[in-house]
Amino acid sequence: MTLTIIIVALALAAPFLLVALRGQAARSKVLDNPAAHIRSVDVDAFRNLVDPDEEEFLRSHLSPTDFRRIQRERLRAAIEYVFCAAHNAAILLRLADDGRRSPDDATAEAAQKLADNALRLRLYALQAIPKLYLGMILPGSRISPVRIAESYEQMTRQVVMLGCLQYPTRGVSAAL
């Protein structure tokens, strides 16, 4: 009976173990060359896509049918930017995790700030994505996830600062 319980428990735990092991392999690959895994995010374009004034301009200059179609396309593009920003934040979170272990206090502090902001950005993304999808379903609803753009820009500045402290950011600031 005990052997059966152990086998069932291992069978249930196997997928989780595989994901964890694959995650560790992916983590080391990302840390070897983080710049190669960064996805491009045009913050100004994102701001334009979620700008309420731009939405109002389009609403007043387009027919309701055209406005809904264009607004859905704009929100689809904004969702893609949010996914890319969240992906980049995950990479920078891994990089900052290594930096927090630095013996240099300034580097460790800069890495901690980067980690905090990267985590904050990922949380903003988790909040913004459902809102953006809701905006696609209901094009008239007011949605403005501007905090993502601000947080992404702040995170980018922190990567530059970390690089200035002689921490090997491996070309990440140029890729952002």
| Residue type, position 75, single letter | L
Q: Are 33 and 73 in contact (CB under 8 A)?
A: no
- In eight-state DSSP terms, residue 165 is T
For position 113, what pLDDT does the model report? 86
Task: Give 76's pLDDT tier (boundaries 50, 70, 90).
Answer: very high
Give the C-alpha separation, 169 to 28, whole Å: 14
Contacts of the segment 146-149: beta carbons below 8 A, 24+ positions apart: 146/47, 146/50, 148/46, 148/82, 148/85, 148/121, 148/124, 149/43, 149/46, 149/47, 149/50
pLDDT in tens, 89-127: 888 888 888 878 888 888 888 888 888 888 888 888 888
* pLDDT of 70 over the 90 cut: yes
Q: What angle do CA 26, 173, 77 make, to 5 degrees?
A: 75
Domain extents for the chain?
1-32, 37-175
Length of the chain: 176
In this predicted model, what pLDDT tens digit does every residue of 120-173 receive, in sequence order? Answer: 888 888 888 888 888 888 876 776 676 777 777 777 777 766 665 555 555 555
pLDDT tens digits for range 25-37: 444 556 666 777 7
pLDDT confidence of residue 29: 59
Cα separation, 170 vs 145, in Å, equals 30
Residue 88 pLDDT greater than 60, yes or no: yes
Average pLDDT, the chain: 77
